[in-house]
Structure 1
Amino acid sequence: MPFQAGLDLLRLQGDIVWAGAEFTAKVVSDPFLRMMVRKGDGKTPVMTLPGFTGPEVSLQPLNQFLNANGYVAQSWGLGVNRGIRDMAHMENLSALLGDRLKEMADRHGRPVALIGQSLGGVFARELARRNPELVDRVITLGSPAHFSEAPKKVNALVARVMALYTGRAVEELLREVEDLNLNISEPPPGVPLVSIYSLYDGVAPAPTTRIPQRFLASKDGVPRENIEIVCSHCGMGVNPLVLLAVADRLAEDGKNWVPFDPLNYATGPIRHASRWFYPSRLSPSAA
């Protein structure tokens, strides 16, 4: 519909402009952010996976931030994320990523943390599902967490671009997934999962990117957590508020998981302001 197409165009343009402002905020706040964040031990490997149409350089600021704060972060090594054409293509990508994941885990002598933006987060969850012994945790940034509503809610212009890139409509691909009985919406078993999402996401709205309630309280005690942050979709990899949460969750003990609380980083009047930027500090058992 013309009205919906126009609305989605405005949403996407606004999201991109906002992302530019977030990158500026990251540059300005970087010295202070590095003093605040929890640090890694200098040995923990991290693989970052870009979003749809995103080149590897799109997450380079995130990699640089993590490398400066005690992690060994690198991109997925597959160039631009061009989406998937069919499940055979998905199998090929999964095999390539699995080899890279094993190489990283072997080189560092420990499991790898995965951080995926948008579609990259979908790949990260699938990679963890197939290789749980090689993955320490998964953090997704604005990534669809369940797919039944995705075709109806994801920005229509983005869905059309995806169809042009892959030659397959999103709905068609999802029908193939259903026919094969692949439960790609389910969290990877045994692997801590964090979903960072925004109510103001101009591409993948919050109802599609939050971990569904039925998966939050896992019977096996594996941490699963939703973190709402006021941010754009395209700028999640550079937004200082997101970077703070990512560093915090990377440093959290997977066996003694404590939910993210931004108040740990705020004092005085800033404690009240933090509620504006982290409006819903959700625990692993919350909706």
Structure 2
Amino acid sequence: MRHAVMKLSLPKPSLFHFLVEGRSLFELGATGLAMPSLRKAPSGDGHPVMVLPGFLASDLSTKVLRSFLKGKGYQSSGWGLGRNLGNHIVGGQQIISDKLINQVLRMSIEHDAPVSLVGWSLGGILAREVARIIPDCVRQVITLGSPFNGPHGASPIAAKIFDLINGDLTKSNAQAMQQMLLAPPVPNSAIYSRSDGVAHWQACINNDDEHQQSENIEVRGSHIGLGHNSQVLWIIANRLAQARNQWLPYQA
């Protein structure tokens, strides 16, 4: 039986790392300088890629990443559902709203191919759950600083805002929280940073010990900068460029 280790007492991100999240602006500038090198990153086969934004963010926040992926030859798009307020996490067996599932189904049908999902923070949690529900329509999942091991590892400020909007899911939907610990039945890569000031890195890594196509990849940088971090962009290009059904773990 598949199982994952639940960590009820995950550490919180350090206050120092939270206070220096503003370094993401420097990371954006560094990525601009690194663009000549990033042009050498692996190109893709043109398959569809949907990028899901983090909590309180919209498609505007993923524009740099999506533009980079288009330059690598992918049919990249945002999720098209406005600001991510966490309202696409619903109760019961399904967990994810039909509206989000239909967005992925529509993209898969339009391109006649399974969709790769790249999810930033909360967007990565949603991407994993979509892949769990419609795995035939999802090629792979890549998460960026996504605390899918539970909200205990998120910064108190972010967790409080989420609870104010959506309620405490650990109490209202404990079954859903347990399910999230298991990796979805598709290739998945969890990208994390030990200096993440919003989600502690231990909350963002796979602990499912029986999934053969699951991996954790460490990078350096802030949480807010993960979507435009040059190291992250290169890794995403590498992961997406793999031939379908020929997934292999990342080699730095």
Indicate the TM-score class for this superposition, using the shorter chain for normalisation: 0.7 to 0.9
Letter in 1 for 2:20: G
Would you say 1:27 and 2:32 are equivalent positions? yes
Aligned to 2:160: 160
Q: CA deviation at 1:259?
A: 2.0
Q: Matched residue of 2:101: which SS? A: helix
Equivalent residues of 1:86, 1:173 under 8 A apart: no
Q: Matched residue of 2:97: which SS? A: helix
Equivalent residues of 1:216, 1:225 under 8 A apart: no
Letter in 2 for 1:25: A
Equivalent residues of 2:89, 2:126 under 8 A apart: no
**Is the helix fraction higher in 1 or 2?**
1
Equivalent residues of 2:90, 2:97 under 8 A apart: no
Q: 1:177 aligns with which of 160, 166, 173?
A: 173
Q: What is the TM-score when the length of structure 2 is the normalising length?
A: 0.88
Would you say 1:240 and 2:230 are equivalent positions? yes
Would you say 1:40 and 2:30 are equivalent positions? no
Q: Matched residue of 1:261: which SS? A: coil
Would you say 1:198 and 2:193 are equivalent positions? yes
Deviation string 1:171-216 (CA, Å, 9 cap, x unpaired) is: x311222256861221112x1010000111101111100101xx24
Deviation string 1:133-152 (CA, Å, 9 cap, x unpaired) is: 100000000001322xx32x
Deviation string 1:70-90 (CA, Å, 9 cap, x unpaired) is: 111100011111113873499
Structure 1: stretches of 5+ with no match in the other structure: 263-287
Would you say 1:258 and 2:248 are equivalent positions? yes
Q: 1:83 aligns with which of 83, 86, 90?
A: 86
Equivalent residues of 1:126, 1:184 under 8 A apart: yes
Larger mean CA deviation between 56-65 and 247-256 belongs to 247-256
Equivalent residues of 2:88, 2:100 under 8 A apart: no
Q: What is the TM-score when the length of structure 1 is the normalising length?
A: 0.78
CA pair 181-40 structure 1, distance change in 2 beyond 3 A: closer
Equivalent residues of 1:48, 1:114 under 8 A apart: yes
Larger mean CA deviation between 87-96 and 233-242 belongs to 87-96
Aligned to 2:23: 18
CA pair 257-216 structure 1, distance change in 2 beyond 3 A: farther
Aligned to 1:106: 109
Q: CA deviation at 1:113?
A: 0.1
Q: Matched residue of 2:180: which SS? A: coil
Deviation string 1:38-83 (CA, Å, 9 cap, x unpaired) is: 0012x21000100001121000100000001111110001111111
For residues 136 and 259 of structure 1, what CA distance do their matches in structure 2 show?
A: 15
Structure 2: stretches of 5+ with no match in the other structure: 1-11
CA pair 200-109 structure 1, distance change in 2 beyond 3 A: same
Query: C-alpha root-mean-square deviation of aligned residues, in Å?
Result: 2.4
CA pair 239-89 structure 1, distance change in 2 beyond 3 A: farther
CA pair 257-92 structure 1, distance change in 2 beyond 3 A: closer
